[in-house]
Amino acid sequence: MRTRLVLALLCILAPAATLPAQGIIVPERCRVECGIPLPNALPIESVTLDVKIEGQVATTHVTQVFRNETGATLEGTYFFPIPTSASVTEFAIWDGDRRLAGEVRPREEARRIYDAIVRRRIDPGLLEYAGENLFQASIFPINPRSTKKLELTYTQVLKAENGSVGYRYPLGIGRNAAPVERLSGRVEVRAPSSLRTVYSPSHAVDVRREPGGRRAVATWESSRGAERRDFQLFYGLADRDVGLSLFTYREPGKDGYFLLLLSPSEDVAQREYAAKDVVYVLDTSGSMQDEDKMEKARRALLFGVRGLRPQDRFNVISFAGETRRMETGLIAADRAGRERGVAFVQGLRAVGGTNIDDAMTEALAQFPRDGGGRTRLLVFLTDGIPTVGETDADRIVENARRNRVEGVRVFTFGVGYDVHTRLLDRVAAENGGTAEYVEPREDLEAKVSAFFDKVNHPVLSNVALDMGGVRTDLVYPRALPDLFRGTQLALVGRYRNERELRDVTLRLSGNASPRHTFAYPGLRFPLRAEEHDFLPRLWATRRVGWLMEQIRTNGESRELRDEVVELGTRHGIVTPYTSFLALEPGAGGRPPVVRGFQDLVPPPSPPGDLSGQGRAGGVAPGVQVMPPPPSAPMPPPAAEPAPVVVTGAGAVQQSKRTRAQQEAITLEGAAVNTANGTVRHVGSKTFYLRGGVWTDAELKPETRLPETTLRFGSEEYFDLLRRTPELARFFSLGERVAVVWDGRVYRVTAAPVR
């Protein structure tokens, strides 16, 4: 069978932001009269991305497999948007073992082809490609009930800004035109100097680094139900001990958002690690005998003690009904000191009750008031709720607050579900640390040992950051943690300035050997920057996590609840506070449900039940947790504050979810599942399908802005897209859309039925 192929490079409408994108095949005709309706675009069976980056030159090789599910032989037009600066080096369609080449068409002719297809097909999904630089190919034949494999390779020079180099492959473009079943990618980065940050805000990537730090490989996969969002990867280069990368986003007339990544070198010399003081506190109550918890905790603690360095100091305290110290005060972690610590830990036995209050008070008393610039850590591991001595959680927290020692960070570990999460969370949060939980299915020894391996290598402690005069607001985390080897510190916040800031110098300082200060000049905080559109949702995710922590810690208030609902709605974030089953009328689903926080976590265990597990769950199996659309009713104000569950499986899982939100650096898991077709994310915006209209979450009944109404597919419609191609990605959602853009509301109404 004859196969023909014609290639073209074209630019449709006006140039928009530089976005490579997902290729699609639009079926144009059957080889013979087929008598069946043609699909808007062929479904995509798989997309495989293989990227190699040398310095700042990226070579992208993408393999796509399309599927013709009809019984007809089709001819189609292939569109693939590429970056403005990119050069296509290879394109192939494999027909058996034959490789086919093509010829270049004038871009005016290619523009006419795309324009005609969009108008003829009346498919808003194709508008996602408007404003892009399109590679176009005419392909024939596409055999019935078969697949067609295409390969495309292009190169581009990546831009470096604010300490990082960025690569982007927007898988999100084309999501409304053609479904994709499997997505996978591999990005190899080779740098002339040591790599610091290798970071993807869009996908959970597995990063493998080679010794020497100049090569890294990031891989990822997405299943069919995952949200189609642009794949983004950033990497930073630095010849200093701590590298910095800055990302900003700001729409005109609004607050800006920023993400600041601080990454220590992988090869910081051991002499540069800050000396530290550590007090290990281990619960040895009788319940630690269950499930071999005592032996696992013992092995993890031995790992921590043996990993100490001679300049460190430490102590070990065990507690059950009473406390027992290895020594009064801290001892040197020289060889003799470590051997003494090992012998003490090996002699511990599990028996008795749980006196958390005395153990915390005793542990804090081991630290001298003057820390001498050392990193100071208190590691507290327990598997139970307080049963001996002071048992009221609020009074235990108050006692820890009264005995607090400046500069001591408290890290708590809760083992199993019979732990008081609010107590452990509050003590850690108020003392600059974090609360970790080890669920029954998790490996206690591995998790605690990994923590000790991290904290045994502090790069900077008592960290301070001078923002160089930039006005910042609501930055998370609220308190800067210490910086350890193999970790990175991610700060997410808002900024506001009345003029363009083009040469800002940030200064990072912290205790090392001795105290160090690092300066980062030449950074920009612009008035307008729309490339990193993931930042508003990332900031909102952290803000929601912080608000949920306040609710869990201090109880519910209407102000906190309303802000969680507002942020969850505007940014499309999954929260445990509200639940909405977003179904179109007549879809056969349940009506909208808006719940208070108390409905989404298990109730306290009944009197006499000391298991602390309550009832499992929080949301019925199979129910998709979603924020309400903008028009959904708010929960009625509670007459009394909602009870906060503090123990049991639900409480542990909620604490872990809240912390994950507070530490989020990717959008994976932050946004709602869009697979049910009623919620969509486009750039920084969230749309809900309300009454058949894709409605911008920013559009509310009280919105008072000038409006423009257009009929889908009309001349005015296409004229507007030529003038403002940025609207195409929103209009591609469907024939009926309402969006707020640049101070105006645009409403698209459906074309008349013919």
pLDDT digits (tens, 9 = 90+) for 93-129: 877 677 666 444 444 555 566 566 666 655 554 554 5
pLDDT in tens, 203-222: 888 888 887 778 889 998 87
**260 and 278 part of one domain:** no
Cα–Cα distance for residue pair 108/99, rounded to 1 Å:
27
The residue from 629, 653, 672 where one domain ends is: 672
First-to-final CA distance of the chain: 38
**302 and 409 part of one domain:** yes
**494 and 372 part of one domain:** no
Which two tokens mark 216?
Answer: 């890294």
Element (DSSP H or E) covering residue 455 = helix 444-455
244-248, 421-425, 569-573, 693-697: lowest mean pLDDT where? 569-573
Cα–Cα distance for residue pair 289/686, rounded to 1 Å:
50
Residue 211's pLDDT is what? 74
Residue 269's pLDDT is what? 47
Residue 257 covered by a domain = yes
- Strands 483-484 and 458-466 turn out to be antiparallel
What are the residues whose beta carbons fall under 8 Å from the beta carbon of 32, sequence distance 6 or more?
72, 73
Burial class (CB in 10 A: 0-12, 13-18, 19+), 145: exposed
Residue ranges of E strands in 170-230: 180-190, 195-199, 206-209, 215-222
Rg of the chain in Å (alpha carbons): 29
Res. 427: pLDDT tops 90: yes
**523 and 547 part of one domain:** no
**204 and 285 part of one domain:** no
pLDDT confidence bin for 378, thresholds 50/70/90:
very high
Peptide bond into 514 cis (omega under 30): yes
pLDDT confidence bin for 225, thresholds 50/70/90:
low
Average pLDDT score over residue span 142-147: 87
Residue 553 covered by a domain = yes
Amino acid letter at 351?
V
Residue 486's pLDDT is what? 74
Total number of residues shown for the chain: 754
pLDDT in tens, 312-350: 999 999 999 899 999 999 999 999 999 999 999 999 998
Res. 479: pLDDT tops 80: yes
**197 and 310 part of one domain:** no
Res. 626: pLDDT tops 50: no
Res. 270: pLDDT tops 70: no
The residue from 510, 532, 554 where one domain ends is: 532
Structural domain range at position 710: 677-749
The residue from 210, 232, 254 where one domain ends is: 232
**413 and 466 part of one domain:** no
Res. 646: pLDDT tops 50: yes
Contacts by 695-700, CB closer than 8 A, 24 or more apart: 695/629, 695/630, 695/737, 695/738, 696/730, 696/738, 696/739, 696/740, 697/569, 697/570, 697/571, 697/572, 697/629, 697/630, 698/570, 698/740, 699/630, 699/738, 699/739, 699/740, 699/745, 700/630
Which two tokens mark 222?
Answer: 């997405």
**376 and 354 part of one domain:** yes
Average pLDDT score over residue span 274-302: 90
State the DSSP string of 469-516. T--EEEEESSSPPPEETT--EEEEEEE--SS-EEEEEEEEEEESSS-E
pLDDT confidence bin for 164, thresholds 50/70/90:
confident
Q: Please list the residues that pair with 491 across neighbouring strands.
A: 260
Contacts by 612-616, CB closer than 8 A, 24 or more apart: 612/385, 612/417, 612/418, 612/419, 612/647, 612/648, 613/417, 613/418, 613/647, 613/648, 613/649, 614/645, 614/647, 614/648, 614/649, 614/650, 614/651, 615/650, 616/649, 616/650
Average pLDDT score over residue span 627-652: 55
Average pLDDT score over residue span 501-518: 84
pLDDT confidence bin for 356, thresholds 50/70/90:
very high
Residue 537 covered by a domain = no
Residue 390 covered by a domain = yes
- Look up residue 179 and give its DSSP letter: -
pLDDT in tens, 675-710: 456 788 888 888 988 888 999 998 888 888 999 999
How many percent of the chain have pLDDT more than 70?
77
Residue 110 covered by a domain = yes
Residue 281 covered by a domain = yes
How many Cα atoms within 13 Å fall on the side-chain side of residue 650?
23
Average pLDDT score over residue span 634-642: 40
Integer CA distances (angstroms), 493 to 138, 255, 260, 628, in order: 47, 10, 9, 25
Cα–Cα distance for residue pair 721/736, rounded to 1 Å:
15
pLDDT in tens, 18-76: 333 467 888 877 766 667 778 878 888 888 999 999 878 889 999 999 998 888 888 88
Which two tokens mark 186?
Answer: 């591999």
**287 and 429 part of one domain:** yes
Which two tokens mark 332?
Answer: 């040197």
Amino acid letter at 471?
R
Res. 606: pLDDT tops 70: no
How many percent of the chain have pLDDT more than 90?
27
Helices 393-402 and 421-430, axial angle in degrees (round to 10): 20
Amino acid letter at 543?
R
> Is the torsion defined by CA of 711, 713, 716, 720 positive or negative?
positive
- Strands 693-696 and 737-741 turn out to be parallel
Residue 186's pLDDT is what? 93
Residue 570 covered by a domain = yes
**248 and 314 part of one domain:** no
CATH value at residue 426: 3.40.50.410
- Look up residue 629 and give its DSSP letter: P
Q: Please list the residues that pair with 221 across neighbouring strands.
A: 184
**356 and 406 part of one domain:** yes
What integer best gives the mean pLDDT of the chain?
Answer: 78
Cα–Cα distance for residue pair 328/365, rounded to 1 Å:
9
Residue 549's pLDDT is what? 87
| Between residues 406 and 12, the one the model is more confident about | 406
**507 and 392 part of one domain:** no
Residue 637's pLDDT is what? 38
Integer CA distances (angstroms), 589 to 580, 582, 584, 585, 688, in order: 11, 9, 8, 8, 16
235-244, 471-480, 665-674: lowest mean pLDDT where? 665-674
Res. 84: pLDDT tops 80: no
Cα–Cα distance for residue pair 157/57, rounded to 1 Å:
5
| Between residues 610 and 531, the one the model is more confident about | 531
Residue 237 covered by a domain = no
| Between residues 485 and 31, the one the model is more confident about | 485
CATH value at residue 28: 2.60.40
Split into its structural domains, the chain has a count of: 5
Residue 364's pLDDT is what? 95
215-224, 277-286, 422-431, 627-636: lowest mean pLDDT where? 627-636
Residue 376's pLDDT is what? 92
pLDDT in tens, 577-601: 654 333 333 333 333 333 444 443 3
| Between residues 276 and 612, the one the model is more confident about | 276
Cα–Cα distance for residue pair 698/537, rounded to 1 Å:
13
Burial call 463-483: b when 16+ CB within 10 Å, e when fewer: bebebbebebeebbbeebbbb
- Number of CB atoms found within 10 A of residue 340's CB: 18
pLDDT confidence bin for 153, thresholds 50/70/90:
confident
Residue 753's pLDDT is what? 64
Cα–Cα distance for residue pair 489/261, rounded to 1 Å:
6
Residue 623's pLDDT is what? 29
> Is the torsion defined by CA of 667, 671, 673, 676 positive or negative?
negative
Residue 106's pLDDT is what? 46
